[in-house]
Chain A
Amino acid sequence: MGEFLSQLRDDRERLTLLVTTLIVTFVLYQMLGQRVFSVGGMQSMSIQVSEFGFLALAMGLAMLTAGIDLSVVAAAGLSGVMSATVLSGRVIPITDENQGMLLVLGIAAALITGLLTGLVNGLIIAKVSVPPILATLGTMVFFTGIGMALTSGNSVPNQVAAFPLIANTAIGPFPVPFVMLATAFVVVALILSRTRFGRQVYLFGENQVALRFTGARTERVIILTYVLIGFLVGCAAIIMVARANSMRVGFGESYLLQAILVVVLSGFNPYGGKGRVSNLAMGLVLLQLLSTSMNAFAFSPYARNLVWGLILLFVMIVNHLSGNFRKRPRRDAAGSEPDEAGRATDTPSLQPT
């Protein structure tokens, strides 16, 4: 507890997030009461947050490496379509006996497709040096294109009766998707804080040239990061298929804006190297509370987007004013040298300040 408190003092974002979340929770509790804050309400919220949470975690990982992944939703859509195709019995006809096997195959199809999409992104970014934003823009069009070509835009129904149970069962009071998400958060947090790879992810975002000079294999770090993103995307796809009991290309398109929103809101720096998974978890709780209450107040999708957009702008401006997102103080800009591409490098000046 003492450690947590001292961390709070050092981490302004965490403090802001915690206070905001508590205030929002209190206000919403007063206004909505039992409608949202019942056991059932909490359960349905925790299922909703799960599929989105995986995508947000994936986006957060990309931002730690000073990248962005515009293809997360498209990749999840493709993974979901692959999984649903297996589950629809079009590949292997469904009989009474093979349902269990198909269930496993469906999960495997989503995960493998997810991993492959991540691998493609990672290879293009690391081995060809395409900037992440363009590489993932390209693969976004490409992944959606594959999904469209396979399904013609139609919804692929799941026919395996047991599959929706993934979304509908609970372990104790916690729905399975939420348990999956919580596990993923803990594992990713441990990877980032306790392993060499995790430290390299942060270092890469902070200063990739310096990381390279430490002898680290920077290309492998990037490929591994995007493969991990792909795995998370595959998990999101499994929950999507289980929840909707079908899958179509373009499902969940609004998640892209929201994923970027929650990651920035949680104090991740879009220029890389800064961001905490635990803060992201808190940001997700806050976003889900707001989202659920906008549901309860019957906001139109446009009004909702307006709110998201305003929050995003507000957070970015506040962050700027408090000096968090500045790449470096203006005075230091003189110390940097332009690299080949003509841009100032991220190398911090070596003079003592």
Chain B
Amino acid sequence: MTTSPFRRLFNRPMTTVERFLVAIIVVYGTIVTLRAPQFLSLATLSDLLRGGSGIAILAIGVTIVLISGGIDVSFTAIAIVAGYSSVQLGRALEYDGLLLLTVGAIVIGALLGSINALLIHFFKLQTLIVTLATASVFHGTMALTLGMRTYTRADVPGSLIGFGEANVFTIQGEARPYGFTMFLPVVAGVVILTWFLLYRTRIGRSVFALGSNPESASRLGVNLLATQLFIYMYVGALSGLMGIIYFSRLAYINPAALVGSELAVIAIAVIGGAKLEGGEGTLLGTLLGVVIWQLFQNTLIFLGLGSQYNGLFFGSVLIFLLCVIYRRQRQINKRSLVFTT
């Protein structure tokens, strides 16, 4: 029996959603290439990767929350609060080192995440509404204590600017060299770490268990508090990391940015096949979702359409895929006489 290369690589069959996503990317890529051959270039790839890195990290965090059956809308606020506080702390101490600034942001992010987890666990509140509230509280508290000053390039810590401009490797193009951003190994590290935690550790398996049925999970001996703490602290930590990457990429620190784009990131994770009933979702799907988002965001211009068409295209694909996923579930339910609407 022959096994497909995909199965050999991932040790599982490709999910329907992943198949659709790959098909959409291929079809879209072909159309754009036919219309504008310059699309297939190192320049496009380099831009897409640089822009997509931060979103990929956030989307991976969101995927974990969705797998656990929750929804988190506070991660953009956490990213900004953690990144901004860390940078402010660094400025106050006149410290300018990438490592500690990043660690600071990650720790602050994880702490804020733990607040979410404790509220959700102890008061049994709906995750969406809790995180909606905490997002405003986190961001508002930061605005009142640290202020909302923006920092232009001259005032951004040099280590961040260096991080944003660094490349892992550069490829000599015809006109100019194309750099591949230093964020790539960070994203790769996050993907590998998340994969390992989700699929190879006890706590990761309990995230899936919690997502598919909290009641049975707790009877199986899953510690729900520990699992919730892990989920929201991990998402918080990833958000903190993203905050630093975001400021580094733009070399501009704006504490009002990013907040408000959380639903778009959730949409990316959802498009990747993470189901709200929890227990399902793949990292590959989420990464493909990021690719689609980045493609629509940056390359519609090759088709002569401005970036204002991004939402229309992305929204259509999202609704289409949602219908595909849930129609199947509905048919299964009907066959097995499960009466839900």
Contacts and interface: CB of A to CB of B under 8 A. Distances in A.
Nearest to A318: B123
B266 A257 contact: no
Mostly, the B contact residues are helix
B130 interface: yes
A135 B270 CA distance: 10
Contacts of B123: 316-317, 320-321
Interface residues of A, number: 68
Query: B264, B318, B327 — which one has the most chain A CB atoms within 10 A of its CB?
Result: B318
B315 interface: yes
B341 interface: yes
Interface residues of B, number: 62
Interface stretch (B97-105, B170-178, B306-314): B306-314
Contact of A303 (B125, B140, B333): B140
Interface in A127-149: 128-131, 133-135, 137-146, 148-149
Contacts of A22: none
B150 interface: no
Given A140-B263, A306-B141, A134 B322 contact: yes
A340 B332 contact: yes
A159 to B, nearest CB: 23
A270 B315 contact: no
B277 interface: yes
Interface stretch (A83-91, A189-197, A206-214): A206-214
A306 B140 contact: yes
Interface stretch (A3-11, A27-35, A102-110, A341-349): A341-349
A312 interface: yes
Contacts of A257: 132, 136
A141 B140 contact: no
A337 B246 CA distance: 46
B120 to A, nearest CB: 11
A310 B134 CA distance: 8
A124 B319 contact: yes
A152 B124 CA distance: 42
20 contacts: A70-B263, A124-B319, A124-B323, A128-B322, A128-B327, A129-B326, A129-B333, A137-B318, A138-B318, A141-B318, A149-B308, A209-B339, A219-B341, A302-B140, A306-B141, A309-B137, A312-B136, A317-B119, A341-B329, A341-B333
